[in-house]
Amino acid sequence: MKLNVVQFVLPFFLFALAACDNKKEMNSTKNETEPVFPQGEIITNDNFTGMAYLQPLIAADSLNPIAVGNVTFEPGARSKWHTHPAGQILLVIDGIGYYQEKGQPRKILHKGDAIKCPPNIPHWHGASAESSFVQVAITGREKGETVWMQPVTDEEYYSK
């Protein structure tokens, strides 16, 4: 059978189109890895081990007594053990992190996870050893400030 021009050219045209589509997909994947919120400033208080950054997003007020902030942890960085008198909600927006309540196994957190820290339960959160971690922390303020405790030891941090 003799091929005409359309039969010969069409497969190449479709291949080129698919390649373009693929490139578009790669670009949109790249965009998704860009930060949702600014990284903010380095946290200089001693409530964290390693490098962590805070971008305050919403300040608590009388109408909404809830503080919202974006926290970025470099690999290995974590909070000290602490409690929140009115609890806390964590929304994971990037990376891989850890969350642990006292007496419970450490949980591994991924982008898209949502975690509730119950009021007055000692816990810590931070990045995994190999990956940075970005969380939006939503913290009730109407019953007082976060109570900070001891640092998370390497033994606690690496325990599974």
List residues near Mn ion by CB under 5 A: 88, 117
Of the pair 33, 115, the CB lying nearest Mn ion is at 115
In whole angstroms, how close is the CB of 72 to Mn ion at the nearest point? 15
Residue 8 or 68: which CB sits closer to Mn ion?
Answer: 68
18 in helix, strand or coil?
helix
- b/e 85-111 (16+ beta carbons within 10 angstroms → b): bebbbbbbbbbbbbbbbeeeebeebee
To Mn ion, the closest distance from the beta carbon of 146 in angstroms equals 7
3 state SS of 157 = helix
Give the nearest distance from C-beta 112 to Mn ion in angstroms: 19
For Mn ion, the closer CB: 16 or 59: 59
Write down the least CB distance from residue 82 to Mn ion, Å: 6
Which among 128, 89, 82 is positioned nearest to 109, based on CA atoms?
128
Q: Dihedral, CA atoms, 15, 19, 21, 23, nearest 10 degrees?
A: 180
Of 51 and 89, which CB lies nearer to Mn ion in the complex structure?
Answer: 89
Name the residue number minimizing CB distance to Mn ion.
88
